[in-house]
Chains A and B, each alone.
Chain A
């Protein structure tokens, strides 16, 4: 199949210098004075994008994401390598960037559409559609200077998504507007996807990439680090951010860890309702994709309850939760153990793991078709964040002991409410503090919990 976009050995070099006059001095000195240095914004990028793919490009600020998109769309020329684009490409970097404040929304929409390469006649025909999508009412015939910034970007997006490209390149464009508008924009993106449009887009939001993309790549310092499924790449990205954050945490004390969590959540709420069908993991239903095991037993559901015994997806830090696992045995099993694992999504490590055997409780022999329910109740003195709960049943035997395993069967969200956590670390361990003062020669225990 002919790739929609094919990049080979793409590199982009910039010459960094304080000013043009220092560049002149350097040129005039014939290499004796060196005041500039080369900076490779991108290096050795090889990438093939199949038609119909939605490719998410992840990476931290300055990783080269926008540069890459600009090279693909043809705004920038690569320093090295070759690029091939097959199909009509539309690139949107920032919405309504070409708008002139003195002209009306209608005039600007027309000009914007023409700039993007839409035919004049086509533009006239689509005007009602665009006006309806932008949903700014009578403001359509008012000068753009009277618009709010939200209205401005809505109009920009309305024009942009009404182009019917084969390849659509988006740079953070979807983050404009309120939740309702975002939903509408996403729905339109899905429509484009269904019609076979190849979409390349940059995002800082892993949630967006996971939900929206079929493939993803991770850029770091101008190089393509990983490519693959959105989940894998998002995990790598997460690791990257965390390793960077750890380094920072040594120097900066007390960073607000809740902040990115909050942003994540906000985004997720915005996206709710847009194609919720692929969301079956949410309330304990277990999807097949995350399953492993011989299926001699089946974990049917994993639920999380709070202190009041109500199903909860959110619990305050420091409270007690109950994880309830429903399992059914497909064959008779003499002895088995059921266990759960709590994994920190942010840190990417297993925090806590236990099973019935560990807790000195026996499941006992099970008949074929017998069902069982196990409750694990424990405290969560954890940092606010998301935690995945996995469950597994195993049997003590020589061959593969795993009867069934449900990865990330439930999500537990720990909130900041009433938290007495200090800034650092993943958990709060019970602590006692004693001060030994050598001068008074006398021990003075004091508790500072």
Chain B
């Protein structure tokens, strides 16, 4: 059996599916990688892994406290839904945005940050961005748990649409994976991208309906929401969690197609460029 031959140029599709298969073959390694990344920050603390949940819980608690009792009333009027707490509204939009910004930032570093491994060990490199993407999403699952708990405490009910969240997160994962893989390649070959991305990510924060409700947007600017995949995610999270509504059908279809295409492109580009990574470090 030939373990590797660099003479025989594999077809691009062959390499693509080989790499995809390696994600499955090395699933245990993937599991340990994710476990390591998720638990790393809490290792030395007394409460340990509980912080993964407690951290977001404290955050949501303060957000809802601040915006309901102190300056909340004003926003409730703006919001147009008096039952809705603005702190929860904000946090619900923050979750998908944070998953997005983290995947960009971690993606850029996913090869550089593991130079010890990349230069020294032969193993499927496609595991590294995958780990980052999964980790940032797992992180948000804990945030989601905290949000749902506070929601239960404040409003005493959950909408049934919450059960559809895992489905939405699968599509979101593809979206994040595509971004992470693309960023891993770009960030490795052109380190300057890290500098470019910082203002872009900040801009995206304000261009996405996180702080403001879409209803307030003038007609002439509606394209900001229509062509912003992040806006779809933010709106859908809110629809499923806060309003108990279903996200728009066409929007969901478009976003799904976009996410799948982004993943395929990102992964293919990654597979195409990964042989040169070790030389770039």
Contact = CB atoms under 8 A, between A and B. Distances in A.
A404 B121 CA distance: 53
Contacts of B6: 74, 77-78, 82-83
Interface stretch (A87-95, A266-274, A324-332, A414-422): A87-95
A115 B40 contact: no
Contacts of A100: 36, 40
Contacts of A77: 6, 275-276, 278-279
Contacts of A98: 116-117, 120-121
A221 interface: no
A115 B121 contact: yes
Contact of B7 (A14, A20, A84, A115): A84
Contact of A82 (B3, B5, B43): B5
Nearest to A85: B3
B4 interface: yes
Given A20-B191, A76-B278, A115 B43 contact: no
Contacts of A110: 32
B193 interface: no
A84 to B, nearest CB: 5
A103 B118 CA distance: 20
Contacts, number: 90
B191 A91 contact: no
Contacts of A119: 28
B4 A74 contact: yes
Given A74-B4, A82-B5, A102-B40, A114 B32 contact: yes
A97 B117 contact: yes
Contact of B2 (A20, A70, A84): A84
A120 B25 CA distance: 11
Contacts of B279: 14, 76-77
Contacts of B118: 75
Interface string B25-58: 0101100110010001001100000000000000
A27 interface: no
27 contacts: A70-B119, A70-B278, A74-B3, A75-B118, A75-B121, A75-B122, A76-B279, A77-B278, A77-B279, A82-B6, A83-B5, A83-B7, A86-B2, A87-B1, A87-B3, A88-B1, A89-B3, A98-B117, A98-B120, A107-B32, A107-B36, A111-B29, A114-B28, A114-B29, A114-B32, A115-B29, A120-B28
Given A82-B7, A102-B43, A111-B36, 17 more contacts: A75-B118, A75-B278, A77-B6, A77-B275, A77-B276, A83-B5, A85-B3, A85-B4, A89-B122, A91-B122, A97-B116, A97-B121, A111-B32, A111-B33, A115-B117, A117-B122, A119-B28
